């Protein structure tokens, strides 16, 4: 009798675990297909810039795979938080842009910046042409330390902005 109770308990645990797995997979797939409140309409990566007033700018690319893990989402979220908090004015003026790129779908972008995993790439454009970039591979080691992550990304963005300012002066 005790053995059948144990079997019934194992069957319920198995069902609960399977339900958990299916719900988790469904959530992950839904998250990938649902539009993000901060998502960029440009998922295609690098585009030729048109000459104009904002031809000197810094573009922050959040580079990710099609399926994003917790760390990938956190990298993007912390980057957007930094841009909104500390770079809102240059973002509004077009001096800084944010773009999201799926490097598995944009192989040219992946080749251009030697991308092998999710990361951030900060690219400086001068006179509409790429003038330099910095790939921030250490985001992976800093993603669980918000302050270290923010400081690392902030420094890269400021460095690229400073080089634009030096060219103008």
pLDDT at residue 54, rounded to an integer: 56
pLDDT at residue 19, rounded to an integer: 65
pLDDT at residue 14, rounded to an integer: 82
**Helix (H), strand (E) at residue 137:** none
pLDDT higher than 50, residue 45: no
SS3 72: helix
Fold designation for 57-168: Glutaredoxin (3.40.30)
Percentage of the chain with pLDDT > 90? 56
Convert the pLDDT of each residue in 114-161 to its tens digit: 998 899 999 999 998 999 999 999 999 999 999 999 999 999 999 999
Pairing of strands 129-135, 119-126: antiparallel
Q: How far apart are the first and last CA of the chain?
A: 87
Q: What does pTM read for this prediction?
A: 0.68
- Cα-based distances in Å from 40 to 14, 15, 32: 41, 39, 14
Better-scored residue on pLDDT, 153 or 49:
153
d(CA 63, CA 104): 10
Quick check: 142 and 148 in contact, CB under 8 A?
yes
pLDDT higher than 50, residue 49: no
**What band does 102 get if pLDDT is binned at 50, 70 and 90?**
very high
pLDDT at residue 98, rounded to an integer: 97
Q: How many CB atoms lie within 10 A of CB 97?
A: 18
d(CA 104, CA 120): 15
d(CA 24, CA 36): 19
Q: Domain segments of the chain: what residues?
A: 1-34, 57-168
pLDDT at residue 148, rounded to an integer: 96
pLDDT higher than 90, residue 2: no
């Amino acid at each position: 009798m005790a053995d059948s109770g144990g079997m019934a308990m194992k069957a319920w645990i198995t069902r609960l675990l399977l339900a958990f797995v299916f719900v988790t997979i469904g959530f992950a797939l839904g998250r990938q297909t649902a539009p993000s409140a901060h998502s960029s309409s440009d998922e295609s990566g690098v585009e030729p810039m048109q000459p104009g007033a904002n031809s000197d700018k810094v573009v922050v690319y959040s580079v990710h795979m099609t399926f994003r893990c917790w760390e990938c989402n956190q990298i993007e979220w912390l980057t957007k938080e930094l841009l909104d908090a500390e770079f809102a004015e240059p973002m509004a003026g077009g001096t800084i842009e944010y773009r999201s790129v799926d490097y598995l779908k944009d192989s040219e972008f992946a080749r251009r910046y030697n991308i092998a995993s999710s990361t951030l790439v900060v690219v400086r454009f001068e006179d509409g042409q790429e003038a330099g970039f910095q790939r921030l591979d250490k985001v992976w080691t800093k993603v669980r330390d918000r302050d270290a992550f923010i400081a690392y990304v902030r420094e890269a963005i400021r460095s690229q902005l400073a080089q634009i300012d030096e060219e103008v002066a």
